[in-house]
Amino acid sequence: MSDEPRPPCGTRSGYNAHLRHGETYCQPCRDAAAAYQRELRATNPTADTESQRKWRSDPQNRAKQRAAKAAQGKATRALAARHVDEYLTLLDAARADVGLPPANPRQVRGRLGRASRSLMPDEVTP
């Protein structure tokens, strides 16, 4: 951490400081950031939406977005297959956060594909 003083809470700078430090935003900073966004939209209400709409409607950009999402999914599945136990722990925690029961490990391993199947423990017969 640096010795620079932190900006005061209740300002957009304070909100950004929370963001930089990975902290939960306090309500005064959230309010300041929301007010800034409202003012920004009020002074130029259509510039952002028009450019975004134009960008999204371009078939090349849409294809790039789909390809990027597919690549991200492939990388996520590869990481999950390499680190099955850690993935299951994270998945169960995320499911618990939304009130769902833990995932069935055998089903998850099956969905991860061939790479994770080699990581499955051998069947133990009594």
Report the predicted TM-score, pTM, of the whole model to 2 decimal places.
0.43
59-94 pLDDT per residue, tens: 888 888 889 999 998 888 888 888 988 999 999 999
Is residue 15 very low, low, confident or very high in pLDDT (cuts 50, 70, 90)? very high
Residue of 37 and 119 predicted with greater confidence: 37
| CA–CA distance, 86 with 108 (Å, rounded to integer) | 12
30-66 pLDDT per residue, tens: 999 999 988 887 887 766 677 777 777 888 888 888 8
